[in-house]
Structure 1
Amino acid sequence: MTWDEKIKDFETFLKFERNFSDNTLDAYLRDIKKLKDYAEFDLENTGPLEITYENIQEYLFQLSKKKFSERTQARWVSSIKSFFKYLVDDEVRTDNPAALLEGPKLGLYLPDTLSFEDVERIIIAIDINTDLGKRNQCMIEVLYGCGLRVSELIDLKISNINFKESYLKVEGKGDKSRFVPLALYTSQLIKDYITNVRSKYKINKKCEDILFLNSRGSSMSRVIVFIIIKELTEKAGISKKISPHTFRHSFATHLLQNGADLRYIQEMLGHSSITTTEIYTHLKNEELRDVILNYHPRNKAL
C-alpha cells in the first residue's frame, strides 16, 4: 500500500465526509505529501503502514529548525494526526504513530487590524479614473464592508446579491451559507461597477454569474487580490503587513468598538463557534489597556 493511494483516500475523506474547504484541504494534503517525501528519501521508502512515532518526531524536529512559525508547526501536527487517525479508523493500521504528538503551545493570536483612517487612506490611494481602479475600489469596500474571506470575495455571485433587501448570500467554508447585510453605500458601488465596468468585458461563459472579473472576463485569483492590496498599501504609505484578511479583522473589530453584539458579529463572519469570534474581545481589551496606561492619572504619576 503506497503513500499516494492512502493520500488520495484521505483527500476523499476530508472533502466529502469532513467537508473541508479547498484551502484547508490543500494545506493538509501538502503537509502529508511533505511527510511522504521525507519517508521515501530519508527513510529508504518507508510506507505509511511502517512509519513510526520516532520517525515522525524526527521529521518534525528537522522541520522546526527551519524557523517556521508556531502556527505552521501546529498545523503540521494537526494534519499528520488527522491522517493517521483516518488510517486507524479505516482499519488500515492497528496502531496510531501520531497519537502522542504534541504541537507547539500557541499564545493568544491577535490579528492585525486597520484603523478606519487607514482603510480610508488605502481606498483614497486607488485611481478610480480607470475601470480597474473602480473594480478594485468596489472589491476593497466589499471586503471591508461585509467582512468576507478572500475566497468568498472572488466566488461572490451576482445572483446572491439582493439589492432590494440589502444583503449578500455568502457561500463560506464547508459549503455553509450565511446572509450578510449590505450597506447602501456598498450596494451602490456594486451597482455602478456592474453597470459601468463589468458590462464592458467579454465574459467567459463559466463566469457569467461571478461578480468580480479580471480584464479577460474570467474570475480573479486569490494571488491577484493579495498583490492589489499590497500595492495599494505601499502607495498609501502604510507600513503594516496587510492581506485581504486584514479587512475582515478590521470589519469585526470596528463593529465591536461601535457596540455591536458579539453574537451578531459571529453570524456575519460565519464562525461556527463563538470562541473564534471572541478573539476580537481581546483586541478591545488591548485597546482599553492602552487607554489606562496612557491616560490614567496614577500611571502618569509614576
Structure 2
Amino acid sequence: MSAPIEAALDSYLRHVSIERGLAANTVAAYRRDLTLYAGWLQGAPPPAEPVAGLRQITAAHISAFVRYLSCREESPLTAASIARVLSTVRGFHRFLLEEALVDVDVARETKPPKLAMRLPKAISIEQVAALLAATDGDDLLQLRDKALLELLYATGARVSEVVSLNVDDVLAEVLDEEVVRLTGKGDKQRIVPVGSYARSAINAYLVRARPLLSARGAATPALFLGVRGQRVSRQNAWLIIRAAAERAGLSVAVSPHTLRHSFATHLLAGGADVRVVQELLGHSSVATTQIYTLVTVDTLRDMYTTAHPRAR
C-alpha cells in the first residue's frame, strides 16, 4: 500500500475519532474495513487495475471491490456486511473530496446490495415473565440478575448501554424520578422511563447485593458487578440471560437484544406511537423503528386467520 493511501486512511480515522467523536469500537471497525479495502486496491484483479495513489482509484474499483466481497473464496460476506463495508468506503471517499485530496467522489454512485427484510425476534409477554421469574431469589447473583434483566426489558436499552451504567447514574434518576439516562451510539443521551418492577429490583440489588460484591474487588463506580467485584461485561450479560432462559425452559434462543426487540414489539402492540418507541430506543431514523410495526401486523394477521370463521 503506497504512502499516500496509507496517510489518507490514518487522517480519516483521526477525523472520525477526534472531530466526529465516534466510539472506539466504531473506529476499530472502520479501520478493519479500510485495511481490507486498501489491501484489495493494491492487488485489484481485472477489470480494475491495482492502484498506488488516491487519484488512480475509479468507480470501477469500487464496483469490483463490492463484487469481491460477495464471492471471495476465504469468507464471502453477507449483504448486510457488504453494505456496512461499503458505507465505510463511501465515507472515506467523501472525506478525500472534502479535503481536496481527490477531484471527484468515485464511490458516490455505488449502491449497496439489497438487504432482505428481517423481522426482529421477539418473545411473548408470557415468555418474558417466565424469563424474569427465573431470576427470583435472595442470592447475591440472583438479585443482580433480576435487576439487570428487569432494567433491560423496562427500557429497551442495548446491553452495552446498561452494563456501562454507574451507580450514580441510577441513584437519583431511577429511584426518585422514575427515569434513567442512557448513553447510546455516538454518545447520544436519552431519557427513558423505568417501571416499578425494575426500580424495585434495582433498589434490592443496591441495598442487599452490590455492597457485598463490591467488597470482593477494587473500587469501581460500575452499577452491575461480577463475582469478583468487576464491571459486568456484555459477554457476561449474554451468559446471564442465556442461563435464565434455560432455567425458564424457553425453547427459543434469547439474547440481550431479544429483550430490546420484545420491549419495542410489546409497546407497539399495546398502542404506543412508533415515534415514541423511536425515541425510547434511541433510533436516529423512524424507518429503523418501523420494522417493528411489521411484527405487530403479522401477529394481527395470525390472530385473524385463527379466529375469523371465513378467514381461510
TM-score band, normalised by the shorter chain?
A: 0.7 to 0.9
Query: Which 10-residue stretch deviates more, 39-48 or 196-205?
Result: 39-48
Report the TM-score, using the length of structure 1 for normalisation: 0.87
| Aligned match for 1:276, one of 275, 278, 288 | 288
1:166-245 matches, cutoff 5 A:
166-200=178-212, 201-202=214-215, 203-205=217-219, 207-208=220-221, 210-245=222-257
Does residue 125 in structure 1 map to residue 172 in structure 2? no
CA separation of 1:232 and 1:26: change in aligned 2, threshold 3 A: farther
Match of 1:248 in 2: 260
CA distance in 2, matches of 1:249, 1:293: 24
Secondary structure of 1:228's aligned partner: helix
Q: 1:20 aligns with which of 2, 5, 22?
A: 22
Structural mapping, 1:107-126, within 5 Å: 107-126=116-135
Q: Which amino acid aligns with 1:36?
A: A
Question: Given that residues 39 and 47 in structure 1 are in contact (C-alpha distance below 8 angstroms), is that contact kept between their aligned partners in structure 2?
Answer: no
Q: C-alpha separation between the residues in 2 aligned to 1:114 and 1:46?
A: 52
Give the number of equivalent residue pairs. 298
SS at match of 2:191: strand
Deviations 1:80-103 (A, max 9, x none): 111111111111122333223211
Q: Secondary structure at the match of 1:185?
A: helix
1:112 Cα deviation (Å)?
0.8
Distance 2:36 2:194 in 1: 42
- Contact conserved, 2:5 with 2:52, CA < 8 A, in 1? no
Amino acid at match of 1:143: L
After superposition, the Cα gap between the structure-2 partners of 1:216 and 1:38, relative to the gap in structure 1 and judged at 3 Å, is farther
Give the direction of change, closer, same or farther, for the CA distance of 1:258–1:22 in structure 2 (3 Å limit): farther
Structure 1, unaligned stretches of length 5 or more?
A: none
* Alpha-carbon RMSD: 2.5
| 2:11 counterpart residue number | 9
- 1:248-284 deviation line (CA, Å, top 9, x unaligned): 1111111121222333222222223333222222211
Partners of 2:54 and 2:101 within 8 A in 1: no
Q: 2:306 aligns with which of 290, 294, 301?
A: 294
CA distance in 2, matches of 1:148, 1:252: 10
Q: Percent identity?
A: 34
State the distance in 1 between where 2:308 and 2:232 align: 49
Counterpart Cα distance in 2 of 1:125 and 1:289: 31
Structure 1 residues 5 and 154, CA gap change in structure 2 (3 angstroms): farther
Residue 66 of structure 2 corresponds to which residue in structure 1?
60
Query: Which segments of 5 or more consecutive residues in structure 2 lack a partner in the other structure?
Result: none
Aligned to 1:149: 158
Tell me, yes or no, if structure 1 residue 82 matches structure 2 residue 91. Answer: yes
- With over 3 angstroms needed to count, the CA separation of the structure-2 counterparts of 1:233 and 1:2, relative to structure 1, is farther
Q: CA deviation at 1:125?
A: 3.5
- 2-structure distance, mates of 1:229, 1:41: 45
Normalised by the length of structure 2, the TM-score is 0.85
2:152–2:260: 8 Å Cα contact kept in structure 1? yes
Cα displacement (A) at 1:159:
1.8
SS state at 1:299 partner: coil
What is the one-letter code of the residue matched to 1:248? R
**Letter of the 1:118 counterpart:** Q
Bigger mean CA deviation after superposition, 91-100 or 20-29: 20-29
Question: For residue 62 of structure 2, what is the amino acid of its counterpart?
Answer: I
